[in-house]
Amino acid sequence: MLDNHADAPLQEKNVHGIERATSLAGGALLVGKGLSQGGIVGLFKVAVGGLALVRGFTGHCATKAWLQHHRDPYDQLKSDLKRTGDELTALKDSAKAATEGVTVTGKDPVAGV
């Protein structure tokens, strides 16, 4: 089985500021509600709250890191498409400027007719 948390202390923090505070507050709230509720639903709330507390205390979220890592190729593709679109627009504008004021007569200038 793949162990994603073996080197967790060495991983960079990817949860900051208000997101980290919200994880701590929400985790504490869920643990408290789960403990007071009991049963299987209460146990689920305690587990989710515990995960949120760990996320807040450590400042690292493996799920967020995975999503960010797998989003990079899409961001690069989006950037490439935007750049290509800008280049096409510039090419179109250049072609339009080059042909303004030009009249097509139907005569071949090379043939001298």
Smallest CA-to-CA distance from 61 within 52, 48, 74 is with 52
Instruction: Give domain status of residue 53, yes or no.
Output: yes
pLDDT value for 65: 87
107 falls within a domain: no
71 and 89 in a common domain: yes
Helix-strand-coil split of the chain, %, nearest 5? 75, 0, 25
- Asked if residue 45 belongs to a domain, the reply is yes
Same domain, 56 and 66: no
Distances (CA, A) of 60 to 10, 17, 35, 57: 10, 12, 25, 8
Residues 18 and 56 reside in one and the same domain? yes
The pLDDT of residue 52 is: 95
Do 19 and 45 fall into the same domain?
yes
pLDDT profile of the chain (113 residues), mean per 10: 50 88 95 94 96 93 87 89 94 86 71 60
Number of domain units in the chain:
2
- pLDDT (0 to 100) of residue 5: 52
Q: How high is the pLDDT of residue 75?
A: 87
Which residue range(s) make up the domain with 56?
13-60
Domain identity same for 66 and 56: no
| 19 and 51 share one domain | yes
